[in-house]
Amino acid sequence: MQFIRTDIEDVVIIEPTVHGDSRGYFVETFRADKLEEFLGYKINFCQDNESKSSKGVLRGLHYQLHPAAQTKLVRVIQGRVLDVAVDIRKNSPTFGQHVAVELSSENKKQLLVPRGFAHGFVVLEDDTIFAYKVDNYYSPENDRGIAFDDASLNIDWILNHDELKLSPKDTKQPKLSETNDLFEYGVDYYNV
């Protein structure tokens, strides 16, 4: 299992080791001890989520406010997505910047999206199954979002706008500059 820091240091790509032969393959998809050793802090995942989507479905950009803020460990079981994490920590040197990584059943990559980031993905193949762990339970009253098409974020979602399928909720999210529901850079949201 290899851990790779991205251009935004707190967002981490995880590349598991795949052991394959003529029978198929085996892969460890999660090791708390190795992840925590790499990060230098504990993460207590408490909920697993899974979605199945057709090509063009865009979910995001979502996050939850403190005290229900979530770290997400995301992966694709079947199909392919472009996964995006946006830094929404005020005063961060990378505020408003994003990391975009293709996750697929073929490459087996995962993305760790820490607290303080908005998260979203667009589905690039039909029948894509997306799975993720979170370290805090879903909290409707703390649920927030940022507009996926906020021009200031400069996210290339790969697909044309007319190919995208969004929930009513995701068509009404505010731009980053229009919300005060953000995080503060330098605050340890794991121990507040």
pLDDT for 2 equals 96
Q: For residue 55, with 0-12 CB atoms within 10 Å meaning exposed, 13-18 middle and 19 or more buried, which class applies?
A: middle
Identify whether 164 is part of a domain.
yes
The confidence score (pLDDT) of residue 39 equals 93
* Mean pLDDT of all residues in 51-73: 97
Please say if the pLDDT value at position 101 is more than 90: yes
Whether the Cβ atoms of residue 99 and residue 8 lie closer than 8 Å to each other: yes
Residue 81 domain flag: yes
- 84: domain CATH number is 2.60.120.10
Q: Which of 41, 62, 137, 189 is catalytic?
A: 62
Phi, psi of 186 (to 5 degrees): 95, -10
Grouping H, G, I as helix, E, B as strand and the rest as coil, residue 150 is coil
**88 in a domain, yes or no?**
yes
Quickly tell me which residue has 């290339």 as its tokens. 156
Sign of CA dihedral 130, 149, 171, 72: positive
Question: CA 42 to CA 25: how far, in whole Å?
Answer: 29
pTM: 0.95
Mean of pLDDT over the chain: 96
The predicted structure's pLDDT at residue 192 = 76
Place of tokens 């697993």: 48
Is position 143 annotated in a ligand binding site? Answer: yes
Supply the range of the domain harboring residue 100.
44-184
Q: Is the pLDDT of residue 190 over 90?
A: no
Residue 56 pLDDT more than 80?
yes
**Number of Cβ atoms within 10 Å of the Cβ of 182:** 20
Active site residue 132: yes
137 CB contacts (<8 Å, ≥6 apart)?
46, 47, 68
Residue 8 included in any domain = no
The answer to whether residue 63 is catalytic is no
> How is residue 148 written in tokens?
């996926």
Domain assignment of residue 66, yes or no:
yes
* Residue 103 lies inside a defined structural domain of this protein: yes
Consult the annotation and say whether 119 binds a ligand: yes
Residue 25, both tokens: 């393959």
Active site residue: 19, 132, 138, 185, which one? Answer: 132
- Provide the percentage of residues in the chain whose pLDDT is more than 90: 95
Mean pLDDT within 120-143: 98
pLDDT score, position 132: 98
pLDDT tier for residue 191 given thresholds of 50, 70 and 90: confident
Shortest CA distance to 170 belongs to which of 13, 11, 60? Answer: 60
- Total of domains in the chain: 1
Share of the chain above pLDDT 70, in %: 100
Report, as an integer, the average pLDDT of 105-125: 98
Annotated binding residue 133: no
Q: For 81-93, write each residue's pLDDT tens digit.
A: 999 999 999 999 9
Residues 3-48: tens digit of each pLDDT: 999 999 999 999 999 998 899 999 999 999 999 999 999 999 999 9
